[in-house]
Structure 1
Amino acid sequence: MADQKFDVAVIGAGPGGYVAAIRASQLGLKTVIIEREHLGGVCLNWGCIPTKALLRTAEVYTNMKHAEAFGLKAENIGFDLDAVVQRSRKISKQLAGGIGYLMKKHKVTVIDGVAKFTGANGKGPSLTVTDKDGKTQTVHADHKIIATGARARTIPQAGLEPDGKFIWTAKEAMVPDTFPKRLLVIGSGAIGIEFASFYNALGAETTVVEMIDRILPAEDEEISAFALKAFQSQGMKIHTGAQVEKLEKGKDSVTAHLKMKDGKTEKQEFDRVVLAIGIVGNTENLGLEDIGVKVDRGHIVVDEYLSTGVKGVYAIGDVVGAPWLAHKASHEGVICVEKIAGLNNVHPLDTSLIPGCTYCSPQVASVGLTEAKAKAAGYKVKVGKFPFQGNGKAIALGEPEGLIKTIFDEKTGELLGAHLIGAEVTELIQGFGIARTMEATEEDLFHTIFPHPTLSEMMHESVLDAYGRVMHI
């Protein structure tokens, strides 16, 4: 294959990489994207999208089981696991195909292959791309953006390594060969809790083990406590302040040695185990060490504009570290490319403006500081809360369990953070995201008119509550 010359080369076609490629093309830069496996990356193929398809199935199934509460009749409720998985895979395939269309539309060259940095020259290192047949070509570009994403973190301990059969990562949990009657989930972050929620809803006896003293440890403590009660009421067994010391695989099951909070060890038997203890960046086999790109604890080190410090080499998304979110990766891709193009008014990413969402049941969403972090940062705060039970739309939906919590700086009225749990809060959170980005104060939110009847009215009520003006509780 002939060597090719571009302005921008992007390594990895996930939500960071493909968005960076599109924006580069929009800005008139000749762009190539190099992908070793699937357009759309983990997010579209094995992460964000297919898991939401599975969770939607679980939501519908749960509603069917409670049809009588809505005046409906549904008998002999059941599910076809293969069909559930195939629906998820079909949706992923459709959306991944859409990325191919977007690349053509924006005239982005797509190369299937594995990229590696080669010797530096006056304009920075080049890229050697090897395709599936072993053929290589050199891709020359003034600017190279690493968007290789991340993979599941594993435990380097005997018996705890994923084997694809009994011990799953998120990938295997999305395409199960059998439905486990007894499931152990190790880790209670977003990934772990989403899978626990899915399998529990479909009838698996689900146990979650979390080393920290509470589940969803990145969330506000009050939201974590609310979630714990909700999950336990659904039948989940949750052990916090605990850890898995060892897994012993048998013929058809796994015996877990669980060290509980009180220091005692218990043995429990499970059909399958999901390992969900975080992710680590895909930094290997890129030749980074040969060109001087610094990697710290599995993630590439970059500055506020995503430069690695090596001439013409940048990195975005999961490979540069937390928060490991698709929308963060996409935003970084735009920042990086606009800085490369020399646009004015390019702002570094403020991670406090990034909403986080967990699509369990009930849903969890947040943006900005938790109450504890706001106080630790020296703020004197005003806190408002509003329960779903006080909202007409929530009651009409049959979703009366939930809470919206807002945190303000008492001195300036700035909205410091918002923390939500309940139906559709992953959609509601963006209202607070916009407020944070626009530096809204309590007065701005007081005077915003929220439509009735909607769940969004609770956002308004929570703000009013922080200042002693709540209407409906």
Structure 2
Amino acid sequence: MSTYDVIVIGAGPAGYVTAIRAAQLGFKTAIVEPKHLGGICLNWGCIPTKALLRSAEIYQFMKHASAFGLSVENPSFDLAAIVKRSRGVSQQLNTGVGFLLKKNKVDVIWGRAQLTTPGALTVTATENPPKGALGGGDYRAAHIILATGARPRVLPGLEPDGKLVWTYFDAMTPKSLPKSMLVVGSGAIGIEFASFYNALGVEVTVVEVLDRVLPVEDAEISAYAQKSFAKLGLHIHTETKVVGLVRHADSVTATLEDKNGVQRQIIVDRVISAVGVVGNVENLGLERVGVKTERGCVVADPFGRSSVAGIYAVGDVAGPPMLAHKGEHEGIICVEAIADKHPHPMDKTKIPACTYSQPQVASVGYTEAKAKAAGFQVKVGRFSFIGNGKAIAMGEPEGLIKVIFDKKTGRLLGAHMIGADVTELIQGYVVAMNLETTEEDLIHTVFPHPTLSEMMHEAVLDSEGRAIHM
């Protein structure tokens, strides 16, 4: 039986980052993975979807080239080539993860793990291991870290079949382009796919059971997003659910029901189910060793410790927000706590969220409603893209930046953005929040000109009634 200090189960972003950090701290480390180095995020999620969206974005630029004084005759696209590029990007990064694990002397065990006792597990080997990987067998470790990720949630009646009803796996590798599509769910995954297919000319309908799209975002940003999506041609139905689905040879009839119980039917070529994800907690032996789970996730404290000593959970399997960067940071906190490095506990209020739709959406911290519900007296500042010279020069004059401060202390409580490149801009506010920055600190900060980041400054100024360009 091979023995390690740390064994990580799952080689997604949370898992491989945790394993590398453990090795850096001097732990003898192994990682168990049945299928993908880099996990769903790198192979079927975060990265390949951004490659697809980039292709769609460039295609849209080509279609509007004349607005920039350029000429592109009869712009078109090759769907197979778009998909091939996306898969190539994933493959390149997959290879890179393998290199990093080898460089840091992390042993890769190829197979499916199941806990037998709190300090031991059995691995059942799977096919096609990477070069140098270990196989099935019994392994021991003083610390076992679960990083098994999550999978798409399946609703009754919306079970994917790979042909008519797609999960995001199917949606990333279409063999042909449908003429029409229904996207069920308007969270980040649903809206990103809706944006991608809409940009390529598909007639897209989005159904959301809650009262607004991107429902976790600030209400003002959600409303702005819904208007922007509608302007681009998306058909959006909020407070609506799918109550029936009839599958035909090459189309689907969906019955939609609104909040008043009124039903209507639409016929589409394909359906994407994007109603969230659930943690991969099954077949791990958690019940055998007594690890507590709740709502499909492992219950873990801010340092990743589960209900059983020596067993930890990080990433999606440890619960929301189910974001790669949250999982990576969570894993580092977990393993540094094991090494007695006294890391700061996970603070989920400071985790940014990004949606790579057209337009992009990004946020961190409290929404205005949640800040008020938490008892804060708030000051709010806003600035529109139309007042920014760089945005106008880029041909991207639509967007909004919103900041929320504690009126008593000046503390930055939250920031919310919609518009071009806001997924890159948001980190400025994330750093500010981690440094406990106040509105006065940001007011006295010099932002370069001409940049989109100047709007971040102007939004702060607006919270004090001092915006210059609005």
Question: TM-score, normalising length from structure 2?
Answer: 0.98
The one-character-per-residue Cα deviations of 1:246-282 (angstroms, maximum 9, x if unpaired) are 1100011000001023321111000000000000000
Q: How far has the Cα of 1:286 moved from its partner? A: 0.5
Whichever residue aligns with residue 373 of structure 1, its letter is K
Which residue of structure 2 aligns with residue 146 of structure 1?
146
Which whole-Å CA distance do the structure 2 matches of 1:270 and 1:112 have between them? 41
Which residue of structure 2 aligns with residue 393 of structure 1?
390
The one-character-per-residue Cα deviations of 1:402-432 (angstroms, maximum 9, x if unpaired) are 0000011110000110000000000000000
Which residue of structure 2 aligns with residue 471 of structure 1?
468
Give the 3-state SS of the residue equivalent to 1:472 in structure 2. coil
**What does residue range 333-412 of structure 1 map to in structure 2 within 5 Å?**
333-344=331-342, 346-412=343-409
Which whole-Å CA distance do the structure 2 matches of 1:464 and 1:28 have between them? 47
Whichever residue aligns with residue 16 of structure 1, its letter is A
Which residue of structure 2 aligns with residue 132 of structure 1?
126
Moved more, 351-360 or 134-143: 134-143
The one-character-per-residue Cα deviations of 1:302-341 (angstroms, maximum 9, x if unpaired) are 1221111212110000001100000000000000000111
Which whole-Å CA distance do the structure 2 matches of 1:294 and 1:263 have between them? 39
Moved more, 298-307 or 142-151: 298-307
Give the 3-state SS of the residue equivalent to 2:162 in structure 1. coil
**What does residue range 124-203 of structure 1 map to in structure 2 within 5 Å?**
124-132=118-126, 136-155=136-155, 157=156, 159-203=157-201
Q: How far has the Cα of 1:139 moved from its partner? A: 1.0
Which whole-Å CA distance do the structure 2 matches of 1:125 and 1:378 have between them? 44
**What does residue range 269-288 of structure 1 map to in structure 2 within 5 Å?**
269-288=267-286
Which whole-Å CA distance do the structure 1 matches of 2:144 and 2:370 have between them? 37
1:427 paired with 2:421, answer no
Whichever residue aligns with residue 465 of structure 1, its letter is D
Give the 3-state SS of the residue equivalent to 2:13 in structure 1. coil
CA contact 2:110–2:136 (8 Å) conserved in 1: no
Q: How far has the Cα of 1:458 moved from its partner? A: 0.1
Which residue of structure 1 aligns with residue 297 of structure 2?
299
Give the 3-state SS of the residue equivalent to 1:269 in structure 2. strand
CA contact 2:119–2:143 (8 Å) conserved in 1: no
Q: How far has the Cα of 1:56 moved from its partner? A: 0.4
* Alignment match of 2:109 (pick from 87, 108, 111): 111
Q: How far has the Cα of 1:133 moved from its partner? A: 6.2
Moved more, 170-179 or 392-401: 170-179
Which residue of structure 2 aligns with residue 211 of structure 1?
209
Which residue of structure 1 aligns with residue 20 of structure 2?
22
Which residue of structure 2 aligns with residue 100 of structure 1?
98
Which residue of structure 1 aligns with residue 131 of structure 2?
none
Which whole-Å CA distance do the structure 1 matches of 2:317 and 2:175 have between them? 30
* Alignment match of 2:49 (pick from 42, 48, 51): 51
Q: How far has the Cα of 1:46 moved from its partner? A: 0.2
Give the 3-state SS of the residue equivalent to 1:16 in structure 2. helix
* Alignment match of 1:322 (pick from 315, 320, 323): 320
The one-character-per-residue Cα deviations of 1:114-173 (angstroms, maximum 9, x if unpaired) are 11111x3xxx33010111269731111110000000000010x2x311111100111110
Which whole-Å CA distance do the structure 2 matches of 1:332 and 1:209 have between them? 33
Q: How far has the Cα of 1:77 moved from its partner? A: 1.2
1:444 paired with 2:441, answer yes
**Which sections of structure 1, spanning at least 5 residues, go unmatched?**
none
The change in CA–CA distance for 1:103 and 1:239 in structure 2 (over 3 A counts) is: same
Whichever residue aligns with residue 38 of structure 2, its letter is G
Which residue of structure 2 aligns with residue 222 of structure 1?
220
Which whole-Å CA distance do the structure 2 matches of 1:448 and 1:354 have between them? 23
Which whole-Å CA distance do the structure 1 matches of 2:3 and 2:229 have between them? 54
Question: TM-score, normalising length from structure 1?
Answer: 0.97
Q: How far has the Cα of 1:109 moved from its partner? A: 0.5
Which whole-Å CA distance do the structure 2 matches of 1:439 and 1:222 have between them? 25
Whichever residue aligns with residue 120 of structure 2, its letter is S
- Percent sequence identity over aligned pairs: 62
**Which sections of structure 2, spanning at least 5 residues, go unmatched?**
129-134
CA contact 2:9–2:15 (8 Å) conserved in 1: yes
Which whole-Å CA distance do the structure 2 matches of 1:378 and 1:289 have between them? 40
CA contact 2:164–2:251 (8 Å) conserved in 1: yes
1:454 paired with 2:451, answer yes
Whichever residue aligns with residue 303 of structure 1, its letter is D
Whichever residue aligns with residue 367 of structure 1, its letter is V
CA contact 2:109–2:136 (8 Å) conserved in 1: no
1:231 paired with 2:229, answer yes
Q: How far has the Cα of 1:34 moved from its partner? A: 0.5
* Alignment match of 2:413 (pick from 416, 441, 465): 416
Whichever residue aligns with residue 146 of structure 1, its letter is L
The one-character-per-residue Cα deviations of 1:34-69 (angstroms, maximum 9, x if unpaired) are 100010000100000000000001100010000000
Count of residues in Structure 1 that have an aligned counterpart in Structure 2: 464
After TM superposition, which residue ranges in structure 1, 4 or more long, deviate above 3 angstroms? Answer: 133-136
The one-character-per-residue Cα deviations of 1:96-123 (angstroms, maximum 9, x if unpaired) are 10000000110100111111111x3xxx
Which residue of structure 2 aligns with residue 9 of structure 1?
7
Give the 3-state SS of the residue equivalent to 2:413 in structure 1. strand
Which whole-Å CA distance do the structure 1 matches of 2:386 and 2:259 have between them? 34
Give the 3-state SS of the residue equivalent to 1:257 in structure 2. strand
Which whole-Å CA distance do the structure 2 matches of 1:262 and 1:181 have between them? 30
Which residue of structure 2 aligns with residue 76 of structure 1?
74
CA contact 1:125–1:291 (8 Å) conserved in 2: no
Which whole-Å CA distance do the structure 2 matches of 1:304 and 1:93 have between them? 33
Give the 3-state SS of the residue equivalent to 1:113 in structure 2. strand
Whichever residue aligns with residue 123 of structure 2, its letter is V
Which whole-Å CA distance do the structure 2 matches of 1:184 and 1:262 have between them? 21
Give the 3-state SS of the residue equivalent to 1:141 in structure 2. strand
Give the 3-state SS of the residue equivalent to 1:56 in structure 2. helix
CA contact 2:246–2:252 (8 Å) conserved in 1: yes
Q: How far has the Cα of 1:178 moved from its partner? A: 1.7
Give the 3-state SS of the residue equivalent to 1:176 in structure 2. coil
Give the 3-state SS of the residue equivalent to 1:393 in structure 2. helix
Whichever residue aligns with residue 102 of structure 1, its letter is L
